[in-house]
Amino acid sequence: MTGRNRLKARLKAGETVTAAWFELGSPEVAELLVYSGWDVLVIDCEHGSAGLEAGLNLLRAVEGAGGEAVIRVPDSSEATLKRALDRGARSIMVPMVHTAKMAREIASFCLYAPRGRRGYAAPIVRATNWGNLPGYAATAHEELLIMAQVEHVDTVAEVEEIAGIEGIDMAFVGPNDFAASMNHLEDMDHPDVRAKIEEVERSATANGLMLGTITGVAGPGRSYAELRDAGYGFIVGPNDVGLLAGAARAAKAQAAKELGEETGEAAPLPSY
């Protein structure tokens, strides 16, 4: 059983993959985003409306529309990761992975023996199509994509070691929490923050660890192309909240303009 994780295959082939955040937890919104061209969605079970169980059920909507989903789990516990994998998540983003020790534990929780200690229930879980994927346990590690979020300045010194851990495929830079760890919350463009994130980029690239992030990392003007050129293979851009809010504000502003009404200054769009 190979080739089921198309996202991992695309990244390994060197493609720059763009994705959208999925926060609102509606299967209809998931389908709409995929049919609108966002074929990779990050189902956010950390900050989004859907908890872990609801988020895992949303996999069906994304995959049914022809898309690929990354599940951002709410925590790095063994029970959470085991449940996500058994329910069919093949690509997982884990928040707040501050140390190589944490990364090693996460990999262990996600890999079957002898590579790790993932609990076995293959014949009765969705991940195997309810027992209809012979050989799943032997090849599950090949299909699994684990993104460890680098969100603290102290993690910079750990990236090289993290890169050497079997099962950890990507360092995903979370810039606002990273900036906050340096006392620069919401100031991702601060020179000190930019310098430290660039250290992460260099270390990951030098040690064969894929890179992911959001648009605007280390400066709000950093484009998709600039991030690609800096080594990022996975770039998450808009979120459904921001897309809806932006369209709603634009439509209301147009209505007010046509009626000659004054409008106040719009609040900034929701963003990471």
- Single out the catalytic residue among 47, 98, 141, 184: 47
Handedness of CA 13, 18, 24, 28 (dihedral sign): negative
Q: Respond yes or no: is residue 98 known to be catalytic.
A: no
HEC secondary structure over 195-212: HHHHHHHHHHHHCCCEEE
Residue 109 Ramachandran class (φ > 0 left, ψ -120 to 50 alpha, else beta): alpha
Q: Which two tokens stand for residue 240?
A: 């459904």
Handedness of CA 99, 192, 213, 49 (dihedral sign): positive
Q: Taking a C-beta distance cutoff of 8 angstroms, is the pair 53, 74 a contact?
A: no
Cα 208 from chain centroid (whole Å)? 19
The helices-and-strands tally (H runs, E runs) of the chain is 11, 8
Enumerate the active-site residues. Answer: 47
